[in-house]
Amino acid sequence: MKLLELRGLVASVDEKQILNGIDLTVNAGEVHAIMGPNGSGKSTLSNVLAGRDGYSVTQGEIELMGAPVNGMSVEERALTGLFLGFQHPIEIPGVTNMEFLKVAIDSHRISIGEEEMNTRDFMVQVRDISKRLELSTEFLKRFVNVGFSGGEKKRNEILQLMLLRPRLAFLDETDSGLDVDALQVVAKGINEFRSDDNGVVLVTHYQRLLNYVNVDFVHIMVNGAIVKSGDAQLAHEVEAQGYAGLGEA
Amino acid sequence: MSEQSPSAAHDFIGKEYAAGFVTDIEQETIPPGLDEAVITEISKRKNEPAWLLDWRLQAYRRWLDMPEPTWARVEYEPIDYQAISYFAAPTGDKPKSLDEVDPELLRTYEKLGIPLHEQELLAGVERDPDAPRVAVDAVFDSVSVATTFQEELREHGVIFCSFSEAVENHPDLVQMYLGSVVPQSDNFFAALNSAVFSDGSFVYIPKGVRCPMELSTYFRINAQNTGQFERTLIVADEGSYVSYLEGCTAPMRDENQLHAAVVELVALEDASIKYSTVQNWYPGDEEGKGGIYNFVTKRGVCRGARSHISWTQVETGSAITWKYPSVILRGDNSVGEFYSVAITNNHQQADTGSKMTHIGRNTSSTIISKGISAGGSSNAYRGRVRMNPGAKQARNFTQCDSLLIGGKCAAHTFPTIESQRSDAIVEHEATTSKVSEDQLFLCRQRGIDAEKAVAMIVNGFCKEVLRELPMEFAVEASKLLEVSLEGAVG
C-alpha cells in the first residue's frame, strides 16, 4: 500500500519557491532516508507534508494513504496517520508530558470513533515505552520539553511515535545533536516501531543514523529536488564523496 | 429535575455563551431612577429596621459627593445611574420550602447546572456518595429565591441564609459587621451598593466549628435594565473554618448591565475562610456589544491572630471586570492569599488584582495572578502590598504571569509596594509569554485540534490557581476557560 506519494511537488515558503519538483513514493514496510546538505529543502518538505501554515504547494500533488491532502488541516493529516518528528521540539510550559501524551492519544482514538483511553492502560503503555527508551517515569511528570536535554527531546519524539503508532513517520533530523548512546536508543525505538504495515522516512544530514537503522532507499536532495536515489550503498558514497560530488549532477 | 443535572455543565461548552437565556417569569420592579424615595422603597419592601434605612441613606448621600473612579485601565461610555432599575424580584413572598419555589426558577438553575435540591451538587462531575456536599443560596436578580441545607447547617450552629433573612433574624450580627470591612464611603461603587443593595448571602460560623459542607451562592441577573447589587457578609468566629463558592451568569443582552457587589469577610482568631469565585457574567458579543460591568469590592480582614483568608477567582466573563479582592492582615501571624485567573477575549477588559495590607506582626501574604488575553482584549493586573510600621517581619510573595494569544491583545502589570519596615520581605516576579505558532503546530501535528491545544496550554498556565479551587469548581472552571477562548485561534 502507498503511504505517501509526491508527484512533481513544487512548494514555497512566504512566496519563495523552495521545493522544485519532487517525486517520491513510500510504501508500507519501507524505510527511506532523505539526505542532503543544509538548505536543501528537507525541513521545508516535512512542513509542507504536515500542512503547516505559510507553506504552500504551487504545483504537483501530495497523496497520503492513497488520498490527496488538498484542503486537509494539520490535525487531519496527523489523524490520517502522518507523524512528524521535530528537529527542534518546542517547549510547552505548564503542560506535563503525561497530559500531552494522553490528549494526543485520545484525539487519535476519538477520530476513529473509539473511547478515550483508560488511564490505567495508558499509564502501563507509556511506562513500558519510556523504559524501552531509557526514560525515567519522572520524565513523564515534567513539562513538555521544558528543560530537557537535546537527547531527551529526541527520545520524547520517539516516545510519541511509539505511542501514537502512525502509518507514516517522517523524522526530521532526529539524529542531530545526539551522542552515540542517545543515537542508539533512538535507533532502537525506530527499529521497534517499523513494521510491514508502516513506513519511515528519515531526513538526515549525516549517514551515521543509518549505521543503526537499515534503510531500503536513500534519496539525495539538493536545492529542493531529489538528484539521486539508490539503496543503502548510496549513503556510504555520500559519506565518502560529500554532497558536492553527487549534487549538481 | 435530576435527569439533566449531570450533563448540565457540559452545556457550558456550547459554541456561544450557554448561560445567555432569559427566564420568563413575573417580576415586580421598581422603575428606573435613583433618589432617597427609591432607597426608602427598597428598604420598605424588604421590611428593614430603621437603622438599616438610615445606613443606606447615609451611604447614598456620601455617594452623591463621590466621583466615579477613572484610574482603572478600562474604557466605557458614562453610565446613566438614573436609567437603571435598582430592584427586581419574582412576585410573591419568598417560598418557605423548595417545594414552593416557582418551577420556572428551578428549571433556570437546572439549566445552569445548579441543583436547588439537597441530594445533588453542582453538576459536571460524577458523584461518589462520600464526596463533599454543597449548600446553595440562589440569588435571582435582587432577591434570594432558595437556600438549601439550612436545617442541617443549623444543627452545627452555622447560619447560612439570604442577607434579608439575616437582617430579620440576626440583626445584631449584621449590625455589628456590616460595613466593618468595606466602609460605606470606601469607593464610589461600594457606596452605591451600600445605598441600594438588595440581597446576597450571609454566613456565620460559630466558634470552633468546621463547616460540614461547602457553602455557595449562585447569582443570576435576569431582568432587563436592572443592576445587581448584592452584599455578602461572612463571619468566621474563633477557630472556625468555611469554604465558600460563588458563581454567576446573566442572559445575553445588547445593553450593558451594571453589577456592583460588596463582599466582606471577617476572620477572628484562628479562623480560616476560603472564598472561591467562578465569574461567568455575560461578556458581550464578538463586536463588544452588551455584557456586564462587573465593579466589585471584595475585602477580608484577618482580625484575629493566626487567622487565614484565601481568595481564589477565575474571571472568565463580564465586558469589564474591576475588582481587587484584598486582605487586611491585622492579627499577628495571619495569612492572606489571592489566586487569580483572569481571561479576556474579543473586546473584554479586565483590571483586577489584589491589595494586601500588613498590620500585624509576622503576617504573610501570597499573590498569584495569571492573566490570559486573546482577541482584541485588554487585561491588567493591579496590586498593592503595604507593610505598615507595626508589621514586624511581614512577608509577601507576588507572582504575575501574562499569557498572550494572538497579536491584537494587551497585558499590563501595575504592582505597587509600600513598605515602612526594613525587615519586610517582599518578592515580586512577573513573566509575559505567548502561545506560539510552534507550540500549536506541535499539538496539531499530534492530532490535537487548535482550540483544544490552546485550552490545554492555558490550563497548564493556570494550574497553580486552578488547584486552589474545590473540585466541583475546578472542573467547571477548566471548561469555562475553553469556552471563553472559542475562536481565539484562527
CB contact under 8 A, A100 and B446: yes
Of A74, A93, A95, the CB nearest to B445: A74
Q: What's A127's domain CATH number? A: 3.40.50.300
CA–CA gap between residue B223 and residue B255 (Å, rounded): 12
**Which letter, b or e, does each residue of B266-292 get, where b requires 16 or more Cβ atoms within 10 Å of its Cβ?**
bbbbbbbbbbbbbbbbbbbbeebebbb
DSSP string, A176-202: TT--HHHHHHHHHHHHHH--TT-EEEE
* Cβ atoms B413, B380 nearer than 8 A: yes
Inform me whether the C-beta atom of residue B399 falls under 8 Å from chain A C-beta atoms.
no
**Residue position matching grid coordinates 452623591:** B64
Query: Does the pLDDT at position B278 exceed 50?
Result: yes
C-alpha to C-alpha distance for B181 and B327, rounded to whole angstroms: 10
Mean pLDDT value of segment B278-292: 78
- The mean per-residue pLDDT over the stretch B28-42 comes to 87
Least confident range of B102-106, B181-185, B376-380: B102-106
- Chain B hits for A73, Cβ within 8 Å: 444
Backbone φ and ψ for A191, nearest 5 degrees, come out as -65, -35
CB atoms near residue B306 (< 10 Å): 18
Which of chain A's residues have a Cβ under 8 Å away from the Cβ of B442? Answer: 86, 89-90, 92
Site of grid cell 420568563: B24
Cα B473 to chain center, whole Å? 13
Predicted local confidence at residue B125, as pLDDT: 41
A124-B446-A186 Cα angle (round to 5): 65
Interface size between A and B, measured as CB pairs under 8 A: 72
Q: Which of A80, A95, A96, A172 to mutate to test the interface with B (most CBs of B within 10 A)?
A: A95
Cell numbers for B48, please give them.
428593614
- Distance, first Cα to last Cα, chain B: 39
Residue B453, helix vs strand vs coil: helix
- From the list B378, B345, B320, the residue with the least C-alpha distance to B488 is B345
pLDDT tens digit string along B74-97?
888 888 888 888 887 766 665 666
Please indicate if any CB of chain B lies within 8 Å of the CB of A103: yes
Alpha-carbon span B212 to B220, nearest angstrom: 26
Q: How many domains does chain A have?
A: 1
Q: Could you give the CA distance from residue B206 to residue B231 in angstroms, rounded to a whole number?
A: 21
Cα–Cα distance between B425 and B411 in angstroms, integer?
27
Q: Average pLDDT of B243-253?
A: 74
Closest CB to A90 among B442, B452, B456: B442
Q: Per-residue pLDDT tens for B103-137? A: 776 776 666 666 666 544 444 444 455 555 677 77
Residue B115: its pLDDT value, please? Answer: 60
Residue A127 Cα, gap to closest chain B Cα (Å): 19
What pLDDT band is residue B4 in, cutting at 50, 70 and 90? very low
Instruction: Return d(Cα B171, Cα B167) in angstroms, integer.
Output: 5
Chain A residues lying within 8 Å of B457, measured CB to CB: 92, 94-95
pLDDT at B466: 83
Per-position b or e across B231-265, b if 16+ CB within 10 A of its CB: bbbbbbbbbbbbbbbbbbbbbbbeebbbbbbbbbb
Q: With CB atoms and an 8 Å threshold, state whether B447 touches A93.
A: no
- The ipTM is 0.95
Contact A74 B439 (CB under 8 A): no
pLDDT for the residue numbered B126? 43
- Residue given cell 492513497 in the structure block: A66
Between CA B217 and CA B291 the distance in angstroms is 21
- How far, rounded to the nearest angstrom, does the alpha carbon of residue A41 sit from its chain's CA centroid? 15
Question: What three-state secondary structure class fits B421?
Answer: coil
Residue of B368, B443, B451 to mutate, interface with A, max A Cβ within 10 Å: B443
Proportion of chain A in helix, strand, coil states, percent, rounded to 5: 40, 30, 30
- Per the CB < 8 A criterion, the answer to whether B452 and A103 are in contact is yes
Better pLDDT: A16 or B128: A16
Q: Which three three-digit cell numbers place residue B119?
A: 441530594
**How far does chain A reach from its first CA to its final CA, in angstroms?**
32
Let me know: does A56 contact A70? Beta carbons within 8 Å.
no
Whether residues A93 and B433 touch (CB distance < 8 A) is answered with: yes
Ramachandran area for residue B225 (φ above 0: left; ψ -120 to 50: alpha; else beta): left
Asked if A104 lies within 8 A of B447 by C-beta distance, the reply is: yes
In sequence order, what are the beta bridge partners of A221? Answer: A226
Highest mean pLDDT among A227-236, B146-155, B358-367: B358-367
Helices (H), A51-197: 74-79, 97-111, 119-132, 138-141, 150-164, 180-193
- H helix or E strand, kind and range, residue A220: strand A217-222
Give the closest residue to B329 by CA, choosing from B364, B366, B367.
B364
Q: In B, which residues are within 8 Å of A110 by CB distance?
A: none
In this prediction, residue B13 carries a pLDDT of: 29
Cβ–Cβ of A92/B444 closer than 8 Å?
no
Distance of CA B86 to the CA centre of its chain: 20
**A contacts of B433 (beta carbons < 8 Å):** 93
R_g over Cα of chain A:
18
Nearest CA in chain B to A54: B437
Residue whose entry in the numeric block shows the C-alpha cell 503547516: A52
pLDDT-wise least confident of B15-19, B51-55, B163-167: B15-19
CA distance, residue A210 to nearest chain B CA (Å): 26
d(CA A138, CA A127): 10
Indicate the pTM of the whole model.
0.81
Q: Which amino acid is at B2?
A: S
Q: Cα separation of B55 and B63, whole Å?
A: 12
- What residues make up the domain containing A7? 2-247
* Dihedral sign for Cα atoms in the order A178, A179, A182, A186: positive
Among A89, A65, A41, A108, smallest CA distance to A186 is for: A89
CB contact under 8 A, B447 and A79: yes
Q: What is the DSSP string of B215-238?
A: EEEEEE--STTB-B--EEEEEE-T
Q: What is the mean pLDDT of residues B320-335?
A: 94
Contact of A164 with B447, CB cutoff 8 Å: yes
